[in-house]
Amino acid sequence: MILNELELLDRLTHPDPRRRVIITPIVDPREQFGPTSVDIRLGTDFKVVDVANISHLDPTSGQDNAAPVMRSYQVPVDRAFILHPGEFALGASMEFVRVPDDISVRVEGRSSWGRVGLLIHATAGFVDPGFAGSITFELHNVSRVPIALYPGVRIAQLCFFAGTPTRLPYGQKKFTKYSGKTGAYESHIYQDPEYDVIRRLRAEGAASR
């Protein structure tokens, strides 16, 4: 069940910390709250892959190739990060978000941004119960003109879904990589356990030759 604005307000002020939703800071509730969503703002932290320092992305090669060198940019609130056509960058929400173990969240772009060709996530549009941290944006400009992105602008919206409490909140998962992180946090896909299997098979094959 998707929460409406009154149900979300109840969760934001709930007396039981185990059931409370945290979104902070909320700068202007009149601007940010919709009927079944709350807008979140773009932070000041951006990361872009330094393509000059990587030949390709291969998660089996460890951190250097799976999480390539990324240039970090801290953009002042009165300046813009320019995302050129076809470019991809990581950004992060200004807000810190924490959800209890009976709430999941969908991250959606605002239609105003979609209409100018800005995508705010590639695949990571879902937030598991028990998550805590800032929301990472996978920013992609699919238009034919550069887009100026200013920190503090409302760039995405969160929709909250109530369910029964999970027995495995996100922060307690064995292979959790992004719990509690803030800022634009790069991929750690190379830590996925299936790549350990591939590396071991490669090593065994090399030893047998």
Would you please indicate which residues are annotated as catalytic (active-site) residues?
Answer: 138
Pair 158, 106: CB distance under 8 Å: yes
Find out whether 117 is annotated in a ligand binding site: no
Q: Are strands 22-24 and 88-98 parallel, antiparallel or unpaired?
A: antiparallel
Find out whether 134 is annotated in a ligand binding site: no
As given in the structure block, the two tokens for residue 132 are: 């805590």
Find out whether 128 is annotated in a ligand binding site: yes
Find out whether 110 is annotated in a ligand binding site: yes
Find out whether 144 is annotated in a ligand binding site: no
Which ranges of the chain would DSSP assign to H, the alpha helix? 5-12, 29-32, 63-66, 111-114, 193-208
Find out whether 152 is annotated in a ligand binding site: no
Find out whether 63 is annotated in a ligand binding site: no
Q: Please classify residue 204 by burial: count the beta carbons closer than 10 Å to its beta carbon, then call 0-12 exposed, 13-18 middle and 19+ buried.
A: exposed
Residue numbers in the known binding site for dCTP are 110-115, 128, 157, 170, 177
Residue numbers in the known binding site are 110-115, 128, 157, 170, 177
